[in-house]
Amino acid sequence: MRRELSKQALPDLPRLLARVGNIKAHQLNMQLLYGLALILTGLFTLLPNRVMGQIFFGG
């Protein structure tokens, strides 16, 4: 039960930080989210069974 609450509350953290006025924490949180999104999509693009993965790794 406790983990489910955490999973539900985590996406609301940036919005909560902005609402309470903690702009620096909100900014850092959004930059981290953006960076991780770019990294994860890049990694999924380079999976061996994907076209870019085959081009990049010569498979």
Residues in Cβ contact with 53 at an 8 Å cutoff, skipping those fewer than 6 apart: 45, 46, 47, 59
Distance CA 18, CA 7 (A): 19
Spell out the alpha helix ranges (H) of the chain. 2-9, 13-19, 23-45, 51-57
pLDDT for 12: 81
Three-state SS at 22:
coil
pLDDT for 15: 82
Distance CA 59, CA 52 (A): 10
pLDDT in tens, 8-58: 777 787 788 888 888 998 899 889 989 999 999 999 999 988 999 999 888
